[in-house]
Every structure is written in structure tokens, then in C-alpha cells.
Amino acid sequence: MLTILTLPVLNDNYIYLLHDPVSGETAAVDPAVAQPVLEVLDQKGWQLSCILNTHHHSDHVGGNLELKQKTGCTVIAGLSDRHRIPGFDRGVVERDVITIGTHSAQVISTPGHTSGHVVYHFSEDNTLFCGDTLFVMGCGRLFEGSAEQMWHSLQKLKALPESTQIYCAHEYSQANGRFALTVDPDNRQLQQKIELINQLRAKHLPTVPSTIEQELATNPFFREDSLTLQKTINKVKHTPIEVFAEIRRLKDHF
């Protein structure tokens, strides 16, 4: 069983530590800063084997160099981001496999938020580390890619098993929920999800992981085929990509 620790850092980032108790190997996903990771490694007696970066933004790679210097770990990221990732060692592309001891993850290319964004799907562990491509009830802003690219990226994630646990890199759930209600106001499952999220945040608890099943029911960026949603945003009989693009535009100005 893969041990997963969630480390809240900065204002709303999450770093994930993945540990294989059989081999002793440990990975850090998107380490924004180094010190919290080093502290947990020391507390647990773990050795950092590698860093898995989803994309090049500083709040995902800021801890790379210090962690590499102090642990000798390998830095893994999308091949096309090789010149933008501090400490870059190994480039991966769609369908490549990375291993953490006895656990393996397939790389999925998800351009949209950035051009070189990748995510890591541990199918046997039923987990997805998706950076800034997919959030609880949201998706990443289109900084370097198009709505069409992001839509195609999200289709890949929608196709994963519904029980897949989603570990995104930010705590955006309350704000995402408030927006989702404006485009999908009659969605009872969405309303219930927001109630649960508000309860968790009142206790300062993370709202991750979510699941693909929950996102299919509540995430407007997974629900461009909903006629109710299309009517709300006045995009009936438009293509799925056009509907998605309008939802993203509305969220950008929310």
C-alpha cells in the first residue's frame, strides 16, 4: 500500500509525499518549498528518492534544488519542460511509467494550464496526482494552452475509473464551489459537496482527495454535456469545447 502524506504549504498549496514501505523509496510531488518535506523525512526516517513535478510554475518546483542538494533525489518532469524545471534529471512523456518501489504510475500529458503539464496515475493504488490540471470542482487557468487542449486533457481524466482518488495541488474548493453553483444551481450533489467542504475547512482540514465519480457529478468542467448547465450559460446546441470554453471564461471573470 502506498503511504500518502499531505503537506499544506504557502497559502493554499499541497505537497504530497508518497512512500513505499516495502522498498523504503519516497517521492515528493510538486514541492513548492523544501523545509516541510525535509522535516517530515527526518521525523519518519525516510529517504527522498525522487521529485515528481507536474509543471514548471514556481509554487510547484520551488523546493527542487534544495531537496536535490540535501537528499540526492532525482527530479522527474515532462520532457518538454526540461529547460524550465530546476534540477531536471529525467523527462517523461505520455504513457511513460515511473516507479516508487513496488508502485508504478503512468504519465498522462495534460496541456492546457501550461504547455508541458503532466499528471501521474497510480492505477493499482487508484490515485491521480494532477497538479493544476484538475481541482475539486475546478480546473486550471489556461496560461499557455487553449480551451480545446484543456478539454482534451480533461477527457483523459474523465475516462479514468470513477473510484480514482484525485490529489490536486491547491486548496481551491470553496471558491470553486461558489462558482460552480452559478452555472449549475440546481445540482443537489453539488450543494451537498459544498456543505461537506465548508465543514472540512471550518476545521482547517484538506478537501482532497476527491474522486472522479464526485467530479463527474459536481465539477462544471466535467459537465459540459449537461443540458441544464448549457441552458444556464446560454450555450445549448454548441460543441462541447465551446461550452467548456464559456465555463472557463465565466470562471476567469468570477
Q: Is 57 a catalytic residue?
A: yes
Catalytic residue flag (residue 121): no
Q: 247 with 233: CB under 8 angstroms? A: yes
Q: Which of 55, 56, 103, 121 is catalytic?
A: 55
* Percentage, residues of the chain above pLDDT 70: 100
Say whether 253 is catalytic. Answer: no
- Look up residue 24 and give its three cell numbers: 523504503
Q: Each residue of 166-210: pLDDT tens digit?
A: 999 999 999 999 999 999 999 999 999 999 999 999 999 999 999
- Catalytic member of 19, 56, 60, 121: 60
Per-residue confidence (pLDDT) for residue 226, from 0 to 100: 95
Q: Angle, to 10 degrees, between the axis of helix 240-252 and the axis of helix 173-183?
A: 120
**pLDDT tens readout for residues 18-48:** 999 999 999 999 999 999 999 999 999 999 9
220 preceded by a cis bond (ω within 30 of 0): no
Distance of alpha carbon 237 from alpha carbon 214, whole angstroms = 26
Query: Could you tell me how far CA 200 lies from the centroid of its own chain?
Result: 19
Whether the pLDDT of residue 1 is over 90: the answer is no
List of residues 6+ apart from 156 with CB closer than 8 A = 108, 110
CA distance 172 to 123: 25
Integer Cα distance of 160 and 110 in angstroms: 14
3-state secondary structure of 117: coil
Let me know if 55 is a catalytic residue: yes
Q: Which of 20, 96, 132, 184 is catalytic?
A: 132
* CATH topology assigned to domain 3-252: Metallo-beta-lactamase; Chain A (3.60.15)
Is pTM beyond 0.95? Reply is yes
Ordered by start, the domain boundaries in the chain are 3-252
Catalytic hit among 19, 103, 117, 170: 170
Residue 252 known to be catalytic: no
113 is catalytic: yes
Encode pLDDT of 78-92 as tens digits. 999 999 999 999 999
3-state class (DSSP) for residue 168: strand
C-alpha cell of 34?
523544501
Per the residue annotation, which of 56, 113, 117, 121 is the catalytic one?
113
Identify the active-site residue in 59, 81, 96, 184: 59
Starting at the edge strand that comes first in sequence, how are the strands of the sheet with 118-122 ordered? 97-100, 103-109, 118-122, 127-131, 165-168, 210-211
Q: Which residues contact 52 (CB under 8 A, 6 or more apart)?
A: 18, 27, 28, 29, 30, 76, 77, 98, 105, 120, 129
